Amino acid sequence: MIDEYVARIRAFNRFYTSIIGLLDQYLDSEFSLTEVRIMFELHHHPDGMTASDLIDLLNLDKGYLSRLLQNLEKKRLILKKQSERDGRVFKLQLSSKGSDDFLGLNNASQAQVKDILSKFTEADIMNLTGHMEAIRNIFDNRPHK
């Protein structure tokens, strides 16, 4: 029986990722979804985050994150500032260019979701978002191992 549930969840994931275009570059930009997520987190933590913070939050491999950060730094989207307390630690922040690029992507994402929702009635949207919240609640309340 569990195999049937697994198949249904995987089918939904394939369906949903195609709806919101996660298999392509993010919103036809030069960025991957993971790069945009890093930018999102840095935008919402203006005092900066460490690479360890990002690894913990996004559950990323250290080597993979290092390559992504090098790429973002090369594009002048992030700034690295050495910690005054520990010279081995760097705080990461969005540069002004990174902030501008992120805000443009964020606005495009908002517009994409509005476009998707424009095809539905308010009742459908309420139903859809209610189910999304139910899924999140189930995952948020799962027992932690």
Query: Which domains are assigned to the chain?
Result: 31-140 (1.10.10.10)
pLDDT of the residue at 145: 57
Which run of H or of E encompasses 117? helix 96-117
CB distance 54 to 78 below 8 Å = no
- Maximal C-alpha separation, the chain: 56
Residue 27's pLDDT is what? 79
Distance (Å) of CA 125 to CA 23, 45, 130, 139: 24, 30, 8, 21
Task: Identify the pLDDT of residue 88.
Answer: 87
pLDDT of residue 95: 98
Give the helix/strand (H/E) hosting 13. helix 2-19
Question: Which residues fall within 8 angstroms of residue 129, CB to CB, at 6 or more apart?
Answer: none
| Residue 11 Cα distances to 3, 89, 108, 116, 122, angstroms | 12, 42, 27, 20, 26
pTM of the model as a whole = 0.85
The Cα angle at residue 138 between residues 51 and 1, in degrees rounded to 5: 110
- The pLDDT of residue 46 is 93
> What is the reported pLDDT for 18?
85
Spell out, as residue ranges, where the chain has pLDDT lower than 50: none
Terminal Cα distance for the chain, rounded: 23
Query: How far is residue 67's CA from residue 17's CA, in Å, rounded to a whole number?
Result: 24
